[in-house]
Amino acid sequence: MAAAEGDPWRGAAAGAATSLLVAWLLSQPHQAAADRLAAHYLLPYLSDSPPSSQVTVEFCNLFQIVEKPYYVIFASCWVCALMQQLIDTSRYYEERYEELSKTQKCYVGIQLLTLVLETLAIVGKIDWLAGESLWHMYNLYVYVFVHSSVFVRSIMMSMIIWDWLLARLLGRPVFGAEYDGQGWRDWHRAVLLIIIMQFGSSVFVMMVVTLTHAIPALILYYPVFLLAAAFIIKFRSWLELLGLNPDGRAGRGLVMASNSFVAVVSIQTMIASIIRVYFGDVWHRGYLAPLTLGCSATCAAFADRASRG
């Protein structure tokens, strides 16, 4: 004390050191809590009605993924469609009028690599051997997957490939004459590309998800599938009724963005619903309860905006 009174600089330094020490000590519990957070602690999120805000925050902190409102998904689909139409103009600079340009092929390759890396990152964050049921942990992974950018962009890429097929850009080899040349037709190449982008992007985990979740969801919640399929099939004819050419630049963008949005939302809703069915919601709360919970993020977002005026 005497030293501090005799030397004001030493007293100030001691005070600053004490403040830093207190700040460091206060920060440690939060860091320790973050380190202890593991995926299996978030299993209640799959059966909460509605999900608690605290679990939602922890879910975001661990996976950086949350249920996205529909307007966010819609905006993402539009950005992807606009980007694809811009990239499509590279065909004219490369003088490839009836086939994919090198820029388009590079774009698909970069997307595929990015999606594979993101899939592996999600798989690594699931503590599969934490002592919980492997089936429950798998359901948690599926829930994270269908709300991730991997799922959304893989659906968008599938719609882009369909656009290439309709625009007659797959009539020539994509991977080379020795691979998909003689004996290959345009729809063969389209199927191969969709398999690569839809299943390969998830390191083929989506194939298992299709068997365990997508097909049961199509059977149990078939009205959602029928409405989405009807929209996707009829949308081109609706544009023609409005006087828009679905094969033109603007029409292709509209078809791609709208169909991507409907496909993403419908499949995401059905798979999320079947997860809650597996957790017993359909038996405890009724047939529509899983679908209602599947819209919880969107309803909450609109309610929050309405409350703010």
So what's the pLDDT on residue 307? 43
Domain-wise residue ranges, the chain: 67-307
Q: CA torsion 306→295→267→61, rounded to 10°?
A: 90
Give, as one character, the DSSP assignment of residue 174: S
Identify which of 167, 173, 178 has the alpha carbon closest to the alpha carbon of residue 188: 173
Q: Is 127 in a helix, a strand, or coil?
A: coil
Provide the whole-model pTM.
0.75
pLDDT of the chain along its 309 residues, tens only? Answer: 444 444 554 555 555 555 554 444 444 444 334 445 566 666 666 655 445 555 566 666 666 666 777 888 888 889 888 888 888 888 888 888 888 888 888 888 888 899 899 888 888 888 787 767 788 888 888 888 888 888 888 888 888 898 899 888 898 888 888 888 888 989 999 999 988 888 888 888 888 999 999 999 999 889 999 999 999 999 999 998 988 888 888 888 899 999 999 999 999 888 988 888 887 777 777 777 667 765 554 444 444 444 444
Placement of tokens 């090198």 in the chain: 102
**Rounded to whole angstroms, what are the CA distances from 166 to 7, 80, 98, 238, 299?**
82, 18, 12, 17, 36
Q: What are phi and psi of 98, to 5 degrees?
A: -125, 20
